[in-house]
Chains A and B, each alone.
Chain A
């Protein structure tokens, strides 16, 4: 009991410990804020990638695509135990030029069935105008008989000085010519000797805002059949670029992907003798994480780098606590001698100063946690105020496709931070505590005399 009482009294009496608490609080504050924002950004980014892709992709990186997909789609749709929805997708590249303009822009063309694709991915939720009626996403409201196209938001709109979009109540009438190089199953230009390219006119029917900056600035969705024709994949043996799959909610990603991979291997063997079987060799089965690895990995690397930097912050905390405790203990050697003279053991002395360190760590963590939490609650307001008054924005929204700064605290992350801060304090106090425990009471109690 004396350890608890003395730890509290030392804490209250020694002002230097208040600085230690402040140092711990500042470290915890910084880590809580940055980790919450960073973790929020990473998980938000992952979720957006997941929404964009679905759970699993059977696809090829070849622009030629692969054949016999309809049969495999049927096989997948029969897998009622783990497959919820399937969406075949055309992917290619083309040029988009507004009608009546000489300007053009290179874009990624995605051909989808809007309903099927929204069952598999978050496509429906990304739409601005047809969110509640996805099946009509490619019907321009001003003339439903025209061929519609859904443009990535940064393809269709420009941001104002405040990085905000200006939306009209419905899509304005606008026509775009989309040109594409159709390829044969062997990868040759299918219209060689003629016009080389397929060009078709599409009308702006909706906007898609996936929240992925690269996607929103370089993508146009077309109806599946239109894209298939444009890319030359609608020949006698039709081809697609990928089949996106959504698993049932209780299916684990890895297990689902393994099942699809096994089905694909079996399917490939069955099709070995077919004329375009060679196209199946380029097809891979990937989970959404692997499929979007090149986008996600840099973000995860940044998070790892940040954690390494915070490890240095932790080391700094340990050092601050070490210095503070070294100073405190060097001033408390007389007390250590007194306690030993009344029978307190070396372990008891260590426990006393470890308890003291725990108190510093715990209080520092609580203060830092509370401060961090409060700051996070107001972070978006603070940013808005800074932007309004000084034009300062933490993240340029034209580069980072985020709405608000993520400020949802994760209790697990908070727990780890608090625990780490307490352990850091304990580690910082360990050496001085050991030194205190080893002190010879006879030496510490002697004043102006040796014998």
Chain B
């Protein structure tokens, strides 16, 4: 299988942090390849380095060693402007704690990535489209009546759906979800997983991090991170 078959490829990723006087090595040579349209779940115990790996895959963090290739292009060779563009247009993040901006309405939170990626003039040129796309996404996520609400007026599940809407706003080629159900009750969490599954069925590539094996079962492929390395790989039947 050639490099071109994979949308994302991590090769020999090492990452360590300084914690006080000691240095903690979190990732010790991770190899991972994700095909276009795949739904991959990275499973691991708390502290296994799965969130760190997700951040590195999304160019939010840099590895100490190793290479991350997105569509065969080495991310370490990207300039900071290209990396910003990558985070804005190519990937979408969904976090465990939703991370919405309380000062913005639900609708504004959803179209925020478009605003952030444009100049004032550029924004005025596309704002109708952006608002319409944001409303469409909210409708798909069952939140059309919540558009004018503030994030703190929503339930956990609703907030996470807003976060998914924001992540999808720029039609990213890769969706990275960090424990997207970790802060939700089982029923609400299942709802979020249904959304992710549906997106994947429409062709969206998703990499999801979770510590819960049952949640990981909803993904097309599961990789297990143990002691800083990918130890086990399984594919859903």
Interface residues of B in 58-78 (CB under 8 A from A): 58, 60-61
Map CB proximity to A onto B43-60 as digits: 1 under 8 Å, 0 otherwise. Answer: 000111111100100101
Map CB proximity to B onto A2-17 as digits: 1 under 8 Å, 0 otherwise. Answer: 1011100110010000
Q: Does the CB pair A338–B99 fall under 8 Å?
A: yes
Q: Does the CB pair A343–B86 fall under 8 Å?
A: yes
Q: Which residues of B contact A1 (CB under 8 A)?
A: 115, 118-120, 123-124
Tell which of A4, A446, A451 touches B50, judged by Cβ atoms closer than 8 Å: A451
Check: B80 CB closer than 8 A to any chain A CB.
Answer: yes
Q: Which residues of B contact A335 (CB under 8 A)?
A: 101
Q: Which residues of B contact A340 (CB under 8 A)?
A: 60, 87
Q: How many residues of B are in contact with the other chain, CB < 8 A? A: 44
Check: B1 CB closer than 8 A to any chain A CB.
Answer: no
Check: B204 CB closer than 8 A to any chain A CB.
Answer: no
Q: Which residues of B contact A449 (CB under 8 A)?
A: 46, 51
* Separation of A342 and B80 alpha carbons in the complex (Å): 13
Tell which of B84, B95, B104, B120 touches A343, judged by Cβ atoms closer than 8 Å: B84
Q: Does the CB pair A5–B108 fall under 8 Å?
A: yes
Q: Does the CB pair B84–A345 fall under 8 Å?
A: yes
Q: Which residues of A contact B103 (CB under 8 A)?
A: 6, 9-10, 13
Query: Shortest distance in angstroms between A12's beta carbon and chain B's nearest beta carbon?
Result: 8
Choose among A10, A335, A442 the residue with the greatest number of B CB atoms under 10 Å from its CB.
A442
Query: Shortest distance in angstroms between A337's beta carbon and chain B's nearest beta carbon?
Result: 7
* Separation of A451 and B46 alpha carbons in the complex (Å): 8
Query: Shortest distance in angstroms between A111's beta carbon and chain B's nearest beta carbon?
Result: 72
Q: Does the CB pair A447–B97 fall under 8 Å?
A: yes
Check: B154 CB closer than 8 A to any chain A CB.
Answer: no
Map CB proximity to A onto B116-133 as digits: 1 under 8 Å, 0 otherwise. Answer: 111110011000000000
A343 and B101 in contact, given A1-B120, A2-B116, A441-B60 (Cβ under 8 angstroms): no
Q: Does the CB pair B80–A345 fall under 8 Å?
A: yes
Check: A344 CB closer than 8 A to any chain B CB.
Answer: yes
Q: Does the CB pair B112–A334 fall under 8 Å?
A: no
Q: Does the CB pair B113–A345 fall under 8 Å?
A: no
Tell which of B19, B50, B116 touches A342, judged by Cβ atoms closer than 8 Å: B116
Q: Does the CB pair B101–A338 fall under 8 Å?
A: yes
Q: Which residues of A contact B99 (CB under 8 A)?
A: 334, 337-338, 341, 445
Query: Shortest distance in angstroms between A430's beta carbon and chain B's nearest beta carbon?
Result: 21
Interface residues of A in 296-328 (CB under 8 A from B): none
Q: Does the CB pair A341–B97 fall under 8 Å?
A: no
Q: Which residues of B contact A10 (CB under 8 A)?
A: 103
Residue of A nearest to B92 (CB): A342
Q: Does the CB pair A5–B104 fall under 8 Å?
A: yes
Residue of A nearest to B179 (CB): A449
Query: Shortest distance in angstroms between B76's beta carbon and chain A's nearest beta carbon?
Result: 16
Q: Which residues of B contact A341 (CB under 8 A)?
A: 58, 60, 87, 93, 95, 99
Task: Report, nearest first, the 10 A-B pairs whose CB atoms are least far apart.
Answer: A343-B88, A9-B103, A1-B123, A343-B87, A2-B115, A342-B113, A343-B84, A442-B61, A338-B99, A345-B84
A–B complex contacts, Cβ < 8 Å, 5 sampled = A341-B60, A344-B88, A345-B80, A442-B61, A449-B51
A-B contact sample (16 more), CB < 8 A, given A2-B116, A338-B99: A1-B119, A1-B123, A5-B108, A10-B103, A337-B99, A340-B60, A341-B58, A341-B93, A341-B95, A341-B99, A342-B113, A343-B116, A344-B88, A345-B84, A449-B46, A451-B51
A-side residues, CB < 8 A to B, are: 1-2, 4-6, 9-10, 13, 334-335, 337-346, 348, 440-442, 445-447, 449-451
